[in-house]
Amino acid sequence: MKNTFYTFYLSILVGFLCFPFHAIKAQKITRGPYLQLLSTNSTIIRFRTDVDSKPSVLIGKTPSSLSRTIRQATLSKEHELKIDSLSSNTRYYYKIVTPTQTLGDSTYFFQTAPAKGEKSKVSFWSTGDMYPGQAQLDAYEGFKKFIGNKYTNLYITVGDNVYKGATDDDFQTNFFEVYQNGPILKQSGMFPAVGNHDYDLTSNRQDDPSIAYFQNFTLPTKAELNGVPSGSEAYYSFDYGNIHFICLDSHAWGKDNIRLYDGPSEQLTWLVKDLKANKQDWTVVYFHHAPYTKGSYDSDAKNPDI
């Protein structure tokens, strides 16, 4: 009897030790979902977990009918699940499912872009110089109060998304944890611009795709959303309905070691090509350094430092 007990106990112990640790450890979503490359027929839902996992996204046209499942095939902490085969200008609801957590309710949804050239009402929120603190929180609360239940199609940033070193921890604490508290990241397609403070502590690596800014965002470098391919996440373009958006990097030296405003450069050459190819009704160009400004930076000053 004693030998039988020991054999049983040993079998349980060996089975426990052989069981993959990642499968039994709690898997927490540490960075809420944000939408990248939102187009007429697809989007990428990005989020982060504290340990390696293979999460899934459930999606459907009503919160109670999430009939489609997109599964991640490989283990990772950083998750980019592409949702494709969607209809244009249509609302979709979703949930994120890990082995230990489900995240999603009726506020987790997005709306695909209108067809290219289609005239449709478009709402976007734009922020820049998001210095962390009460003013940043108050601005976001004011935005949420202003829009109420109205949908915001796009979230456009104009640089200096963070100020405390531009490390991954800086982005996590002072950007993602702030704006995931509400609708903007989980509902609106996000297309950021880079500012000088997004290069803090990495000013000598401005073209390095491994720095935190480029690692945290998935941006259209290959004309995935129309426009001319830029080959760089620092500047790019995309179409949304009958609007052509162009995002520029007004701070960094490019691969050719020339800034946008220092004369002929790769970025300037690309910009001219993109503008010539654009046939949309509206064109919106955005970047960090405003050509006209007042306050502490005055463009009318003799030598404005902007």
What pLDDT is attached to residue 262?
Answer: 86
What pLDDT is attached to residue 25?
Answer: 60
Residue with token string 């709306």:
111
In the predicted model, residues of the chain with pLDDT beneath 50 are 1-24, 304-306
What pLDDT is attached to residue 202?
Answer: 62
What pLDDT is attached to residue 26?
Answer: 61
For 251-294, what is the HEC assignment?
Answer: CCCCCCCCCHHHCCCHHHHHHHHHHHHCCCCEEEEECCCCCCCC
pLDDT digits (tens, 9 = 90+) for 201-247: 766 667 778 899 999 999 999 999 999 999 999 999 999 999 999 99
Using the Cα atoms of residue 118, residue 224, residue 172 and residue 254 in order, give the sign of their dihedral.
negative
H-only helix segments in the chain: 2-18, 21-24, 134-147, 168-171, 177-179, 184-187, 212-216, 266-277
What pLDDT is attached to residue 141?
Answer: 97
Q: How many residues does the chain have?
A: 306
